[in-house]
Amino acid sequence: MNNRKVSIIIGIFLAILAVTAILVCFAPAFGADYQSYGDTRGNVFQIMFGYQNKVAIPVLIVAFILQIVAAVFALIAAIIPGRIGGINFGIAALLLIVAGILFLLAPQFYQSANAGTIAPIEGQTITNGTGTLLTGIFSIVGGVVGLYAGYRAFKA
């Protein structure tokens, strides 16, 4: 398979990983370790944009925007061959890795943004749930794929 076709496949795969990371935000945001009760704070979109009496979390909104922009850069990199495409892959990789790390730190951002309004159950700690874990993992895996694609574009 020639270099152009591989670049297209990797670019589309990277965009799919970024979109999957965005769609996983519909899963529960946090888990709870108190008597095996599931967390009732909502999905990642709800905690990110704020709902009921909770505060929106600007850092997670920025991470969400980074994922969208990374998906666009990945599609552009799939279309543009050569070193310019490699730069776009590198930008997409950097954006996805940063977004993934920010989503993995979501419990700390949530607690600091809502310090006066949340009253956790005694003995309960807020941990990453399915939504934040998978969003972070898909973003970081997409970033690693983007790094490989950027390296491959510069090596060719």
Rounded Cα distance, 108 and 62, in Å = 16
Check whether 35 has a pLDDT greater than 60: no
Check whether 60 has a pLDDT greater than 60: yes
Check whether 117 has a pLDDT greater than 70: no
Alpha-carbon distance values, 77 to 64, 126, 151 (Å):
20, 38, 13
pLDDT tens, 1-28? Answer: 677 888 889 999 999 999 999 999 888 8
Task: Tell which wins on pLDDT, 52 or 110.
Answer: 110
The average pLDDT across 124-140 equals 88
CA 154-89-108 angle, 5° bins: 135
pLDDT tens, 65-88? Answer: 999 999 999 999 989 878 888 899
- Residue 115 neighbours by CB under 8 Å, 6+ apart: none
pLDDT for position 70: 95
- Phi, psi angles (nearest 5°) of residue 127: -125, 170
pLDDT for position 47: 87
- pTM listed for this prediction: 0.88
pLDDT for position 92: 95
